[in-house]
Every structure is written in structure tokens, then in C-alpha cells.
Amino acid sequence: MKSSTSHNMPVATATDAALIDDLEHRTFQWFWDAADPASGLVPDRYPSAQTQASVASIGFGLTAYGIGATRGYITRDQAVARTISTLRYLLRSPQNDSEDNATGYQGLYYHFLRKSDGLRLNHDIELSSIDTALLMQGVLFSQSFYDRDTPQEREIRDLSDQLYRRVNWRWIRRPDNRLSMGWSPEHQFIASYWEGYSEGMMAYILGLGSPTFSLEPTSWQAWLATNDRRWGDYYGQTFLNFAPLFGHQYSHAWIDFRGIQDDWAHQKQIDYFENSRRAVYAQRAYAIANPGKWRDYGPTMWGLTACDGPGETTQQMDGQARHFLSYSARGAGRDYTQDDGTIAPTAAVGSIAFAPEIVLPTLHDMKARYGSRIYGKYGFVDAFNPSFRDGKSFWSDNEYLGIDQGPILLMIENWRTGLVWNVMKRNPYIRTGLQRAGFQGGWLSNSPAPARVAQAMPLR
């Protein structure tokens, strides 16, 4: 497989190491502080006046605890205790088809839950296939990370197994073999479905690996159906497009796609990791070209993904009326472009495993240029916009989102040591899911890695 970039990977400097050490620890601390120790529920955003918990944030949190224990931010016993509390709470929470008295149904979970009691937040909240998938990635990480022969770690493995096995992937499968995005008691199945390169790939892999409610390989082929239409050239790269970078990060945060290929990737002489690497380069090239003429965009200032924004408003900028957005799926690609000058640090940091040679200079520049306005107790804030002026200064967020903190933490650790990837390689359900999707080669050709999790290693 030929890479679209022909330069050597950098050796991390002492300055790089100091920045990454600090950022990883701060980002981990967000999950540790934000989660409820008794229930394990993790809020959608924190610190914030909002009260909803996010099941996707829980999935990232369960993974964060293993990272924290490996790096020495917390003890393994602390990680075990928090993980057991979370898994017990999830398994015992009500699963039924009522409108108000359920955390989930058919083994799936509602997108947002009330922090007070873990029940569905309100009638606008759907039972979500992708948020359940993000949660289950954390559950399976827990199952494989806690491998010691102690009563507590045996319980973690058992609870994880029960939670994963009861997810009814077949129930949320449409007649055309694609997965519906969700369901609600009021409206039944959502018309939208998972198709095309995106974070949805993890849901199919998890469904294909299930020993109880498994999808058939035809579902993977249905998911691939639009690939040829989304494959093409964009800002100097040829790749399978998905505009916001979160779609390139979420599945890769847990699954190492380097060197493994399904039939479609084999035909294109690429793997999905290299595909996402090219997407990162394309976004940087888009920022350098800066067709929207936004302030400060350049080779070390880029990053479009779903994130907070200044708000739905119009403001004069250089004599022109420019429209700004609140929370939105910003991105740049052949599929669409949505850009209001808002930069999300998670877009760059969550891509560090793909392209550290362009991410590290970007992080240094962001932090040096904007300082404490965008970098605080829990690392980088969710987003900032140099083009949106409020008086003499620019807009910067004051909140952190779990689904944006997650890729930062997991991908930093994967770049540094491969910890999350290596743990997930040992999980039999992940291996089965990939193999039933038709993936071959690379690490899938090898026997599972030894059970013991390696200790953290220094930056490479």
C-alpha cells in the first residue's frame, strides 16, 4: 500500500513530550472528575449547567480508566472500582419499551440519560445504535484490559460479556441489512441509517462479532455500497471522503486498521488507517488554501469536526456579513463543506496517530498563540473561533465535551504506546467482527497478543 505522503515520521522532541504528557494527563482528569463515582455515568459536557449523561462518553470513560491506571494517574484498584460501578449500573438499569422508565431497550441505550437516575432524558432522545456502539467499545476494552485472576477483575469480564451479548443488533437492522440510526417508543425506527465511511463502521463490526444477535456479512457489504461514489480527489489527496474528522477517529480510537484490509480496501490498494491519514492531510491543505478567508487558518492552524460554536448569528468581518453556527458538524470534503471559522482542537489532536508530523506543530502553535483562552484545567477547550470577535477578543468555548475529549486521550495513547489498540486486538469479539467483515492480513494473521497489558512506554 503506497502512502500519499512521502516523508519520514518525526522523532518527538523534549518539548513535544512535555506538551503531550501534560495534555494527556489533563484530558484523562476530565473523565475522572466528570464521572459519577457511584453510577459511572459521564456527562455529555463538563463543567456545565446541563445535566444529561452521555452513553458515548461512558464508553470513552471506561477506556480512559485503563489508560489512567497504566500511566499511573490512578491506581489499578481505583480503575477497577470505577469500572465495576459503571458496569453494574449499566447492567441493572431498566431495559424496556416504555417512554419514560428505561435506560435502554433490546440491549441498546438511549443517547442521553438523566444524571439523577440514569433514565432516558426526554421524549426527544432516541435509542441510539452508534452511541451504544461507542459504549460497547469501552465495555469490550474493559473486558480485555482487566485480565488478572482476581474476584473484581473476573467480575468485570463477566459483566462486560453480559452487556455486549444482550445488544440485539438484528433488531435494529433494516430489511436492506443496514443498521438504523435509532428507535423511539413514540416514532419507532428512525428513517436514517448507517451507510458509507463514517463512525458507523464500528457498529457493523460489533454486530458482526456478536455471538448472540450477530449480523450477516451482507450488512458490511450494504454499508460499503456508497464507497465508490465518495472515493476521489480532494485538496491533493485521493481517499474515501467523510467531511468531519470525528468520523475518521471514533472507530480507529479502538481498532487498529493498519495493514488489515477488506475486499474494497484491497481493491483500492489502501487500508482505512491510511485513508484517514489522507483525510487529515486534505483538511490541512484546505486550511492552507483557506477558501472562506477565515482568520488565522494555515499549516499549523486547522481542524474541522463536530463541535461547539459561537452561536447562530451574523457578524461583520472585513466588510462582509459572515454567518456563524452553534454546535454543528463542521467539515471539509467531497461530500460537503461546512466551515464558519471555528477550529476544534480535537480534530487535530484526535488525528495524532494518523499524522503526528503535522499535528504536533499545530498543537504547539495553538497553545502558544492563544494560551489560557483555549488551554485550561482539562486541556484544550472544545472549540474556538479567531474570526468571531466579541469586543477586542475572539470567541473561545468554556466547556469540554466527552465525545471530543475521548479521541484526544485515546489517540494520544495509541500513538505513544498502542495501548488501546493492543488491548482490543486480544478481544475475540472484535477479531470475529473484523474477520466476518472480510478483513485479512496484518495483525489479524497473528495469534492474539499475550494477555498481560504492557506498561506505558515513553514517546517514540
Task: Tell me which DSSP letter residue 372 carries.
Answer: G
Angle, CA 421 vertex, CA 347 and CA 216 arms, to 5°: 95
Instruction: Give the pLDDT confidence score for residue 454 in this predicted structure.
Output: 34
The dihedral formed by the CA atoms of 150, 151, 157 and 163, expressed in degrees to the nearest 10 = -160
pLDDT digits (tens, 9 = 90+) for 128-159: 999 999 999 999 999 999 999 999 999 999 99
**pTM greater than 0.75:** yes
**Does the pLDDT at position 374 exceed 50?**
yes
Instruction: Name 380's bridge partners.
Output: 375
Rounded Cα distance, 167 and 16, in Å: 41
CA distances in angstroms from 370 to 311, 365, 393, listed in the order given: 20, 8, 11
Q: Are the C-beta atoms of residues 412 and 351 closer than 8 Å to each other?
A: no
At residue 449 the predicted structure's pLDDT band, cuts being 50, 70 and 90, is low
Rounded Cα distance, 47 and 208, in Å: 37
Rounded Cα distance, 413 and 457, in Å: 10
Where do we find the cell 480527489?
A: 233
Q: 3-17, 262-276, 421-435: lowest mean pLDDT where? A: 3-17
Q: At what angle do helices 272-289 and 356-370 cross, to 10 degrees?
A: 40
Rounded Cα distance, 421 and 210, in Å: 19
Task: Tell me which DSSP letter residue 449 carries.
Answer: P
The pLDDT of 105-120, averaged and rounded, is 97
Task: DSSP for 13-64, please give it.
Answer: PHHHHHHHHHHHHHHHHHHHHHS-TTT---BSEESSS--EEEHHHHHHHHHH
Instruction: Give the pLDDT confidence score for residue 200 in this predicted structure.
Output: 95
DSSP 3-state assignment of 204?
helix
Rounded Cα distance, 376 and 370, in Å: 11
Q: Are the C-beta atoms of residues 42 and 57 closer than 8 Å to each other?
A: yes
pLDDT digits (tens, 9 = 90+) for 156-171: 999 999 999 999 999 9
Instruction: Give the pLDDT confidence score for residue 9 in this predicted structure.
Output: 58
Q: Are the C-beta atoms of residues 309 and 290 closer than 8 Å to each other?
A: no
Q: Which of 433, 339, 355 is nearest to 387 (CA)?
A: 339
Cell numbers found for residue 192 = 436514517
Instruction: Name 180's bridge partners.
Output: 193
Rounded Cα distance, 418 and 335, in Å: 31
pLDDT digits (tens, 9 = 90+) for 232-266: 999 999 999 999 999 999 999 999 999 999 999 99
Q: Which of 392, 340, 396 is nearest to 366 (CA)?
A: 396
Residue 185: CB atoms within 10 Å: 15
Please, what CATH class does the domain formed by 21-445 belong to? Answer: mainly alpha
Cell numbers found for residue 239 = 481517499
